[in-house]
Amino acid sequence: MTRHIDRIRLKNLGRLIAEAGSVSALARRAAVSGANLSHVRAGTPYPSGSPRRMGDRLAAKLERAMGKPPGWMNEEQPFDTGPFAPDTGPPLLSWVRAGTWTEERELPASAERLHCPLPCGPNTFVLQVAGESMAPLFPDGDYIFVDPDVPAENGSYVVVRRPNDGAATFKQLVVEDGRRFLKAANPDWPEPIVEAEPDAAVCGVVVFQGRAM
């Protein structure tokens, strides 16, 4: 039960960060440490090795700061896919197409588009999570909205183009001593963290996550 609540709180934290505009903006509104908020979001363990979780007190502070009802952080929030005009909203792309999106953005008129409940940039695109490498934070089937115009920072969840085949992959970015690493959210993943190749290009930063109900 605890892990289930932790997962929901992390997803809702992502919503609040997108709503506030950034981690630092949310931290200021809630009068909490931005560094601690980033560590909670990234799942950075304490020096003792124990996992860093979002406690009830922090959850309540975030709810109050963002005008959410008590207990909001503990509840799955529905993903609204409409209404939206057929020619507006970020397009739903394949993982192969996402790898070339920053270079070629023309799509057929029939391309499926989704409505993002929060403000997002004009070049934002949508991907559907496939596989278990980012579970339980991003389960298979969830939708992620990716903005190419948001700068990627240490701890950001990013979509990266693989140089070997041009397709995209989804991981958390870790930057240490000028080196870039890609980290899976799933602690049981065979390769939980790998160094990014020098020519691996960041296609965008995840700004929203949702699930069709």
Tell me what pLDDT residue 196 has.
Answer: 93
Whether the Cβ atoms of residue 135 and residue 186 lie closer than 8 Å to each other: yes
210: Cα separation from own chain's centroid:
10
User: How many Å apart are CA 194 and CA 174, to the nearest integer?
Assistant: 10
Q: Domain boundary residue among 10, 45, 74?
A: 74
Residue 110 belongs to a domain with what CATH number? 2.10.109.10
Tell me what pLDDT residue 65 has.
Answer: 94
Whether the Cβ atoms of residue 164 and residue 108 lie closer than 8 Å to each other: no
Residue 13 belongs to a domain with what CATH number? 1.10.260
145 φψ region: left (φ > 0), alpha (ψ -120 to 50), beta (else): beta
Number of domains in the chain: 2
Tell me what pLDDT residue 1 has.
Answer: 44
Residue 69 is assigned to a structural domain of this protein: yes
Residues 121 and 186 in one domain: yes
Residue 83 is assigned to a structural domain of this protein: no
Query: pTM for this structure?
Result: 0.63
Residues 143 and 100 in one domain: yes
Per-residue pLDDT reduced to its tens digit, 27-86: 899 999 888 887 787 666 667 766 678 889 999 999 999 999 999 999 887 654 444 344
Q: Which residue has the tokens 């004009």?
A: 122
The CA-atom distances, in angstroms, between 21 and each of 12, 26, 121, 208 are 14, 7, 12, 11
pLDDT by residue for the chain (213 residues), tens only, comes to: 466 788 888 888 878 887 887 778 888 999 998 888 877 876 666 677 666 788 899 999 999 999 999 999 998 876 544 443 445 688 999 888 888 776 777 776 677 888 877 777 788 899 999 999 999 889 999 999 998 888 888 888 999 998 887 888 999 999 988 899 999 999 899 999 999 998 899 999 998 888 776
Strand order in the sheet with 193-195: 125-128, 143-147, 201-210, 157-161, 168-176, 179-183, 193-195
Range of the domain at 203: 95-210
Residue 193 is assigned to a structural domain of this protein: yes
Residue 89 is assigned to a structural domain of this protein: no
